[in-house]
Amino acid sequence: MAQQDSVRIEAITQEGRSERPSDRSRRVAEARAKFRAIRLPYPRQDELVAALDELRLTGQLSKGQTQGGVRLIADTGSGKTVGAERFKAYVEAAGEHTPGSQPVVIATVDGSGTTRSIPASILKAMGVPRPEHGAEPVLWMRAFDALERHETQLLIIDEFNRAARRPTMSSAIATALRDVMDRGIVPMAFLATEEARDVFRRSPDLAGRLDAPVTMDPLDWLVEEDRDLFESFVSGLDDQLVELRILRTSSGFAIPKTAQTLCEASNGNIRQLCRIIETALAAVVRRDDPAIGIDDLADAVEDWSIANHCISYNPFREK
């Protein structure tokens, strides 16, 4: 029905009739929602998915023994969380777990940076009622019980870098999580930004239990493999915008000069790239234009990238 409404509104605007502001707002909102729902294959995430699956399967074969872990330290917007969610969906879709169990749990550390916040985050991710109820030892026992009761095969700690915000607490947090592995409860993966390196540096006992780090560096246009990956990704976005009838014609993101400038403007960061394109998309849909042009991308870099201090200049304006 939403798609039919979109087509109807498009026809009205093309015929030159007036459009209510509320209709225009709805068109833009629908376009943004459809764009954000796009999921494209991304090889860097495939490497993360493979590492997480190896860790999970190893844990299954060594139940009750000391469990291992892995860490991925990468910039915000590199695709860590999306990769973890892809892995969770992949495991759940395989159907090799007991009905009602939670084979993969993704717990996001909150901003308080306390040891108490970690078990509370685990309980919240698992949907346990009153996840913050009880003293810290009680919260940990509740978390252990939930992980075992729901037959969790892998626990992913997202935003682990937040543990570094309170240095006096970070070592205690690391020790508590190390104990989870030592008890043989579940293997663990840590997703974080550079800030987390200090936590691992101050906690050699935890770092020593982890496999070789997984990397997810920004894409570098000067590296052929990265360039091919970036061109493939923006080409896929372009195709999806047309296939989903968000736009009427191709925007030419994969044209070499355009792709190179997009890579520079986004710092090779997938989230920044998507925000640039979404910002341009909103303006184009608002005007009811058929595709995103170079000027739209340039304006989007001004309005989003520079405004958010992701980059200090506009590559589209300087070329």
105: confidence class by pLDDT, cuts 50, 70, 90: very high
Q: List CB contacts of 260: < 8 A, sequence separation 6 or more.
A: 221
| Residue 164, pLDDT above cutoff 80 | no
**Tokens at 190, concatenated:** 């840590």
Strands 188-192 and 69-73: parallel
Distance CA 98, CA 60 (A): 14
| Reported confidence tier of residue 194, pLDDT bands at 50, 70, 90 | confident
Is the pLDDT at 14 greater than 80? The verdict is: no
Examine the pLDDT at 1 and tell me if it is beyond 50. Answer: no
Residue 138 pLDDT > 80:
yes
The tens digit of pLDDT for each residue in 256-315 reads 999 999 999 999 999 999 999 999 999 999 999 999 999 999 999 999 999 999 999 999
pLDDT digits (tens, 9 = 90+) for 211-243: 888 888 899 999 999 999 999 999 999 999 999
Greatest alpha-carbon span in the chain: 70
Q: Is the pTM of this model over 0.85?
A: no
pLDDT at position 274, please? 95
pLDDT above 90: residue 153: yes
Q: Dihedral angle at the C-alpha atoms of 129, 132, 135, 139, nearest 10 degrees? A: 60
The mean pLDDT value of the chain amounts to 88
Q: What is the DSSP string of 270-283?
A: HHHHHHHHHHHHHH
Q: pLDDT confidence of 126, banded at 50, 70, 90?
A: very high
The single-letter DSSP state of residue 251 is -
pLDDT of residue 115: 81
Structure confidence at residue 16 (pLDDT): 53
Instruction: State what percent of residues in the chain have pLDDT above 70.
Output: 92
Residue 218 · residue 76 · CB < 8 Å: no
What value, to the nearest 5°, has the Cα angle with vertex 313 and ends 311 and 315?
100
Distance CA 54, CA 57 (A): 5
pLDDT in the model for residue 318: 79
Question: What DSSP element (H or E) covers 237?
Answer: helix 224-243
Distance CA 190, CA 167 (A): 18
- What average pLDDT does the segment 99-113 reach? 88
Residue burial 248-279, b: 16+ Cβ < 10 Å; e: rest: eebbbbbbeebbbbbbbbbbbbbbbbbbbbbb
